[in-house]
Amino acid sequence: MTVSKLTPPPVAASALELIGATPMVELHGFEAGRCRLFVKLESANPGGSIKDRIALSMIGAAEKDGRLEPGGTIVEATAGNTGLGLAQVGLVKGYRLLLVVPDKMAREKIQHLRAMGVDVRITRSDVGKGHPEYYQDMAAAIAAKLAGAVYINQFENPANPLAHETTTGPEILEQMGGDVDAVVVGVGSGGTLTGLGRFFAKASPKTQMVLADPVGSVLAPLVERGERVEAGSWVVEGIGEDFVPKNCDLSFVTKAYEIPDSESIATARLLLTRAGILGGSSSGTLLAGALRYCREQTAPKRVVTLVCDTGSRYLSKVYNDSWVAEQGLASRELHGDLRDLIARGSASGETVTVGPEDTLLTAYNRMRQADVSQLPVLDDGRLIGLIDESDLLEAVEDRRQDARFNQPVAAAMTAKLSTLQASEPLEALLPIFEKDQVAIVLDGHEFLGLITRIDLINYLRRAA
């Protein structure tokens, strides 16, 4: 039996005592040039992200100045992790939580928050500051009307950067033995950048602050070119902005990198496969920026970046091959025909199917697990039918309860199929969709996959 060399920490009185003091890991097997690259695992906080630190700090400050009274309500606009941190701290302290979240956030975050009893309001992610449905404006308006509520406002709250100046920064310097050449961060609210920037300016002036920013954010162009650009869109969550938050002091940044979503996703996956570290999409952005910085250096340097949160919140996105393909973020062979619209290809094994002898219960479970409304029915690799939710409902609604889902798929499937050849034009999809059907795509007699309305919409969005 192998005995651990680590000394376990003492018993904590509550989960709040476990916030901070996160581990540091040196990465090996990455193309980091002459540099040594380290990641601080903020995913090890009890709430799963770096935002636990600022939640503890901001709630403590609101209690101290009397704005937050016992039994009060904490209101915040959040990409998810700050909300989870506020819930982690606030619920233990007996507060209610109301969070306004943009609609592009991963479902795991929403489910986590609701499991904690948080009131989650989902709003639009396609509008900017000043619009009543913009998540920050909406949160401020709700808090102003709600008795006993405090709008925490991580974007302007001074307790946000203070948390990193007093905890994260000192931890990094101690773990690195006082020798840090650069720290690579992202900006959501700006608290991490500003807090670490303030700390290292005093404690280690040689340490450079480097920004990794999603393509589409306004921050990196402002730092690198002094250019004020119109914000675009990006899929990475939690970092990148369409304005410069009050808590964001860009004067600390010496270098900024614009990282496309495809590079962020690929790098997050690389972190998992090469280092066994499951990080979120923003962690992929930060690591990609750190690797770029390292490869540009002509002298050896010690570089630190952060695993901002756990990747378990992005299993339906970053680590879901179908989602990555739907977003156009995967490297895949393009054929210039209908095959390019198939999100889950048969040849790659991504298409979820059933056999004719499988039970309707099996079909139902596979639909739910894969979040699809129809399944191709294959017999020895040959397409013989299709079963969708309406077929399933019709087959089970009039049967005895003990026989409903024990029927074979063959008894409920549609065997008369309208198919398309992969070489047919895009317009051939429209008559099929008008009949509320899915397009079944073949290459000769070989089944290639299905195309749904959302697949066509995704294709047109990527082409725009």
Name which of 209-213, 252-256, 379-383 the model is least confident about: 379-383
Are the C-beta atoms of residues 18 and 12 closer than 8 Å to each other? Answer: yes
Strands 73-77 and 182-185: unpaired
Name which of 198-202, 204-208, 282-286, 457-461 the model is least confident about: 457-461
Say how far apart CA 206 and CA 200 lie, in whole Å.
8
What's the N-to-C CA distance of the chain in angstroms? 59
pLDDT in tens, 174-184: 999 999 999 99
Amino acid (1-letter code) at residue 206: K
Are the C-beta atoms of residues 451 and 424 closer than 8 Å to each other? Answer: no
Give yes or no: 51 in active site: yes
Local confidence band at 332 (pLDDT 50, 70, 90 cut-offs):
low
pLDDT value at 284 more than 80:
yes
| C-alpha separations of 242 from 126, 192, 228, 337 in Å | 11, 18, 10, 36
Task: Quote the pTM value.
Answer: 0.84
Of the two residues 418 and 294, the one the predictor is more confident about is 294
Say how far apart CA 91 and CA 218 lie, in whole Å.
35
Mean pLDDT of the chain: 91
| C-alpha separations of 406 from 147, 161, 399, 401 in Å | 54, 59, 10, 10
Strands 302-307 and 182-185: parallel
**What pLDDT is attached to residue 208?**
98
* Candidate ranges 233-237, 279-283, 379-383, 438-442; pick with highest mean pLDDT: 279-283
| C-alpha separations of 141 from 124, 132, 135, 353, 449 in Å | 15, 8, 10, 48, 47
Give yes or no: 204 in active site: no
Are the C-beta atoms of residues 170 and 102 closer than 8 Å to each other? Answer: no
Say how far apart CA 127 and CA 233 lie, in whole Å.
11
pLDDT in tens, 120-144: 999 988 888 889 999 999 999 999 9
Local confidence band at 4 (pLDDT 50, 70, 90 cut-offs):
low
Q: What is the DSSP string of 261-296?
A: HHHHHHHHHHHHHHH---B-HHHHHHHHHHHHHHHH
Of residues 49, 57, 217, 282, which has the active-site annotation? 282
Of residues 51, 255, 301, 317, which has the active-site annotation? 51
| C-alpha separations of 90 from 162, 230, 339 in Å | 19, 36, 49
Q: Give me the mean pLDDT over the 32-39 stretch.
A: 98
The DSSP bridge partners found for residue 73 are: 96, 149
pLDDT in tens, 49-59: 999 999 999 99
**Strand arrangement, sheet containing 96-102:** 119-123, 96-102, 73-77, 149-151
Of the two residues 33 and 342, the one the predictor is more confident about is 33
Say how far apart CA 425 and CA 79 lie, in whole Å.
40
For residue 216, the SS3 value is coil
Numbers of helices and strands, H then E, in the chain: 15, 15
